Amino acid sequence: MKQWASALEWIESRLNPQTFERWFGAVVWGGFDGSMLTLKVPNKFFKEWLSNNYCDLIEDAMARQCGSRPLVVFEVDEQAAPALVPPPPEAVAAPTLSARAHVVLPHTNGASRLNPKYTFDSFVVGSSNQLPHAASLAVTEMVGTKYNPLFVYGGVGLGKTHLVHAIGNTIRARRPGTRVCYLSSEQFMNDFVWALRNDKMDVFHRYFRKEVDVLLMDDIQFIAGKDRTQDEFFHTFNSLYEQKRQIVLTSDKYPQEIPDLEERLRSRFQWGLIADIQPPEFETRLAIVKKKAEDEGIQVLDDVAVFLARSIKSNVRELEGSLINLAAHASLEGRTVIDIEFAQHTLKKVIALAQAPLTVEAVQETVCKHFQVSLDDLRGGCRQRSVAFPRAVAMYLCRKGLSSSLPELGARFGGKDHTTVLAAYRKIEKKVSEEPDTRSRIEALERLLGF
């Protein structure tokens, strides 16, 4: 299917090559009927990891190809070859854009989006996350009255989404009638835009202001710079707050540090409790590896758990991903126990990447891939925006992330003057501070490069 092939290319450009290869290398196209995309994977580890971590990305990628977001379904097919096999051309189904005739808001199927695996039981508590964990528990005991809003912030992959789901799952288990709505602020924006376009603002208002008892909104930083969405969220917030309905927000930044956020929202975010999650220390990382292995029925030897906890420090998602990836590969090879040789061998690239020093070439290659320009063009002199902008971005990232001097960087970009590098750096720096879209793009690149 052509759309999937293009979608896959786009996905590839958004991920670092190892991550892409580890997770998408084993995905085989299984069919697309215009509204549902079926992907085949070789075992349950791939299925769970991909559906928990990459559904949104896959949906975004498909939406770019066919205009509407399909539902992504993973099927375990042990025969599915772990290779990027392009699907047969005759199987192409014309997308029926109207297939998803929405009667309700597209993203607000509320509690059904809660992942049952993200519970308090499966969350390992350590000094890095004690406060947000305790505050989240308190919220489930005194819904709407203790900490409102609860604002949890911290870096990527540190457990914010997990905690928020745990809140939702616990409240629903204790009080089954409670209407819990979990969504990201991006989905909130999409629903808002959809409601505007389809003349359904009444449905939107009714839902968010009246039919939600607990609003769990993930990644609120995304609405920065989106004026109308912020305005809408402001009214949603006020309405829920006045009715003493619980609001929980997560963000990758402290409210004061979210740029382009309206002051009135900033101040509201501080009305309740703000709790930050820090990267876990070694003992917590080790406990997480052991707990995940136990929960998933993966047998890892102690030295493997220590090896993982020592090697992968900054991000729990990476840590967990490496463990699940080991299990996925062990299962492909028919191994029942994961030992240290197997672990070191399988994760060699990933761990080398985590520790490798950043180079100009790595920055240039990552930028080329992201913007889909060639290395020659990036280092060349073409002034067309489609090339000049990625070049300036690459220069900016090199200047920011490496200790090389300006003349040295100029030389690595095809012999340019140091003033050119400086000008590019300043230009992008300005854009980053003024344009939220550019900023999030650059931040995504920085994450890819491990800044």
User: What residue ranges bind ligand ADP (CB under 6 A)?
Assistant: 118, 122-124, 129, 154, 156-162, 288, 316-317, 320
| Residue 312: CB minimum distance to ligand ADP, A | 11
Spatial distance between the Cα atoms of 164 and 218, rounded to a whole number of angstroms: 8
| Residue 164: CB minimum distance to Mg ion, A | 8
Rank residues 161 and 221 by Cβ distance to Mg ion and give the closer one.
161
Got the DSSP string for 101-164? --SS-TT--GGGGS-TT--STTPPP-TTTHHHHHHHHHHHHSTTTSSSSEEEEESTTSSHHHHH
User: Which of Mg ion, ligand ADP, none does 245 bind, CB closer than 5 to 8 A by kind?
Assistant: none
Are the C-beta atoms of residues 275 and 119 closer than 8 Å to each other? no
What sign has the CA pseudo-torsion 358, 359, 364, 365? Answer: negative
HSE-CB of 113 using CA atoms within 13 angstroms? 22
| Residue 260: CB minimum distance to ligand ADP, A | 21
- CA-CA distances (angstroms) from residue 266 to 234, 363, 417? 10, 34, 43
User: Which of Mg ion, ligand ADP, none does 290 bind, CB closer than 5 to 8 A by kind?
Assistant: none
Residue whose entry in the numeric block shows the structure tokens 């599915």: 80
Spatial distance between the Cα atoms of 133 and 130, rounded to a whole number of angstroms: 5
User: Which of ligand ADP, Mg ion, none does 159 bind, CB closer than 5 to 8 A by kind?
Assistant: ligand ADP
User: Which of Mg ion, ligand ADP, none does 438 bind, CB closer than 5 to 8 A by kind?
Assistant: none
- Region of 40-48, 89-97, 154-162, 270-278 interacting with Mg ion (CB under 5 A): 154-162
| Residue 157: CB minimum distance to ligand ADP, A | 5
| Residue 67: CB minimum distance to ligand ADP, A | 28
| Residue 317: CB minimum distance to ligand ADP, A | 4
Does 185 help bind Mg ion (rule: CB under 5 A)?
A: no
| Residue 428: CB minimum distance to ligand ADP, A | 26
Q: Which residues pair with 338 in a beta bridge?
A: 300
| Residue 156: CB minimum distance to ligand ADP, A | 5
User: Which of ligand ADP, Mg ion, none does 158 bind, CB closer than 5 to 8 A by kind?
Assistant: ligand ADP
Spatial distance between the Cα atoms of 109 and 128, rounded to a whole number of angstroms: 32
Rank residues 191 and 320 by Cβ distance to ligand ADP and give the closer one.
320
Give me 92's structure tokens. 């192409």
- SS3 percent helix, strand, coil of the chain, rounded to 5, is 60, 10, 30
Does 325 help bind Mg ion (rule: CB under 5 A)?
A: no
| Residue 189: CB minimum distance to Mg ion, A | 16
Give me 185's structure tokens. 């602020």
Strand 180-184 with 36-41, pairing = unpaired
- Region of 51-59, 120-128, 157-165, 393-401 interacting with Mg ion (CB under 5 A): 157-165
- CA-CA distances (angstroms) from residue 363 to 170, 313, 417? 43, 22, 19
User: Which of ligand ADP, Mg ion, none does 412 bind, CB closer than 5 to 8 A by kind?
Assistant: none
Rank residues 159 and 255 by Cβ distance to ligand ADP and give the closer one.
159
Residue nearest to Mg ion (CB): 161
Rank residues 185 and 322 by Cβ distance to Mg ion and give the closer one.
185
Q: What type of residue sits at position 432?
A: V
Spatial distance between the Cα atoms of 425 and 247, rounded to a whole number of angstroms: 40
User: Which of ligand ADP, Mg ion, none does 11 bind, CB closer than 5 to 8 A by kind?
Assistant: none
Rank residues 13 and 122 by Cβ distance to ligand ADP and give the closer one.
122
- Region of 131-139, 153-161, 167-175, 338-346 interacting with Mg ion (CB under 5 A): 153-161
Rank residues 45 and 371 by Cβ distance to ligand ADP and give the closer one.
45
Check whether the bond before 149 is cis (ω within 30° of 0).
Answer: yes
Rank residues 159 and 436 by Cβ distance to ligand ADP and give the closer one.
159
Spatial distance between the Cα atoms of 169 and 443, rounded to a whole number of angstroms: 31
Rank residues 160 and 391 by Cβ distance to Mg ion and give the closer one.
160
Rank residues 311 and 364 by Cβ distance to ligand ADP and give the closer one.
311
CA angle 186, 446, 448 (to 5 degrees): 85
Spatial distance between the Cα atoms of 318 and 329, rounded to a whole number of angstroms: 16
Does 161 help bind Mg ion (rule: CB under 5 A)?
A: yes
| Residue 219: CB minimum distance to ligand ADP, A | 8
